[in-house]
């Protein structure tokens, strides 16, 4: 097997001895370095030419990317990129200007510079603020990559109380991190919140609050889809005809101004006169339990 292929299959960075152990001869490795298909980072450490800078950095310090630094590698939702690299480190290694994770790994690493997904999520739950870890776990859960119960079995003791609380909020059904954030915002405020509700004559709505207020969340790209834009507005009109008020919020609202979102929701909920007349009450079907 060619050294470049070995590196590619292993995430982009490997110790030279590991490349040799995978079947490449010393002659193959030297030739690959000369031709540029493999880069010699330092003595005993090789990389693919297109290896990401975060992967290269992790390889240089003999660490695994984990927590917030591994989210993009697994395609997980993320509120914001890591301000400092998050590494899992062993053998007493310590790297300046990084967040060092030392919780024992539960699974074999994905490759030389990346922790396995369950460990990435466990580290996030024990390290990041609640919402940042929640969106990562919920993304993996909605894709079918992880079960909350498998995480909980590693979250024992008093120090894991916050992490267990985050896992308890994980649900199926959110189409984006914005829906996850909004659901938690409403429920933490004590508002009866149902998600992904089908309403006859209107269609599926993101949220139904207190049984009558429809809330829809529009992501960053909503304005790039004219057909969907028109469809959504016609659906809003249909909801109002049924006597159901509709509020729409955008990325900036949910992420940067959650208190304003909550204030607007509470204002509408306080107007009991907006509840629909019983004779016009549409039928609901909850798509998610």
3-state SS track over 140-209: HHHCCCCCHHHHHCCCCCHHHHHHHHHHHCCCCCCCCHHHHHHHHHHHHCCCCEEEEEEECCCEEEEEEE
Class of domain 177-286 as given by CATH: alpha beta
Q: Which two tokens stand for residue 228?
A: 């969907």
Question: Is the model's pLDDT at 277 over the cut of 70?
Answer: no
- Percent of the chain exceeding pLDDT 90 equals 75
Question: Is the model's pLDDT at 274 over the cut of 60?
Answer: no
Q: Which residue has the higher pLDDT, 197 or 236?
A: 197
pLDDT digits (tens, 9 = 90+) for 198-231: 988 888 899 999 999 999 998 765 555 666 667 7
pTM for the full predicted model: 0.86
Q: Which residue has the higher pLDDT, 236 or 269?
A: 269
Average pLDDT, the chain: 89
- Determine which helix (DSSP H) or strand (DSSP E) holds 16, and give its type and residue range: helix 16-21
Residues ≥6 apart with Cβ < 8 Å to 10: 18, 22, 111, 112
What pLDDT score does 91 carry?
A: 64
39-56 as b/e, with b when 16 or more CB fall inside 10 Å?
A: beeeeebbbbeebbebbb
Closest CA to 214 of 184, 190, 182: 182
pLDDT digits (tens, 9 = 90+) for 95-137: 778 999 988 999 999 998 999 999 999 999 999 999 999 999 9
């Amino acid at each position: 097997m060619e050294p470049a292929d070995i590196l590619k299959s292993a995430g982009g960075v490997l110790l030279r001895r590991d490349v040799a152990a995978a079947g490449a001869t010393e002659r193959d490795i030297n030739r690959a370095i000369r031709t540029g298909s493999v880069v010699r980072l330092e003595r005993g450490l090789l990389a693919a030419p297109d290896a990401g800078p975060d992967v290269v950095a992790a390889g240089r310090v003999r660490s695994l990317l984990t927590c917030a630094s591994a989210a993009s590698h697994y395609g997980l939702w993320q509120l914001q990129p890591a301000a400092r690299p998050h590494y899992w480190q062993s053998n007493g290694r310590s790297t300046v200007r990084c967040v060092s994770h030392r919780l024992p790994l539960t699974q074999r690493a994905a490759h030389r510079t990346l922790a396995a997904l369950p460990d990435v999520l466990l580290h996030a739950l024990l390290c990041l603020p609640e919402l940042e870890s929640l969106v990562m776990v919920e993304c993996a859960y909605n894709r079918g990559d992880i079960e909350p119960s498998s995480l909980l079995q590693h979250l024992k003791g008093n120090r894991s109380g916050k992490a267990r609380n985050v896992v308890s909020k994980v649900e199926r059904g959110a189409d984006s991190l914005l829906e996850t954030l909004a659901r938690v915002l409403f429920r933490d405020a004590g508002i009866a919140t149902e998600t992904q509700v089908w309403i006859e004559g209107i269609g599926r709505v993101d949220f139904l609050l207190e049984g009558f207020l429809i809330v829809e969340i529009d992501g960053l790209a909503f304005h790039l889809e004219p057909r969907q834009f028109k469809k959504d507005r016609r659906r809003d009109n249909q909801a109002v005809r049924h006597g159901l008020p509709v509020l729409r919020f955008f990325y900036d609202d949910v992420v940067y101004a959650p208190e304003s979102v909550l204030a607007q929701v509470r204002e509408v909920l306080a107007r009991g006169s907006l509840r629909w007349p019983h004779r016009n009450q549409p039928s609901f079907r909850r798509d998610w339990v």
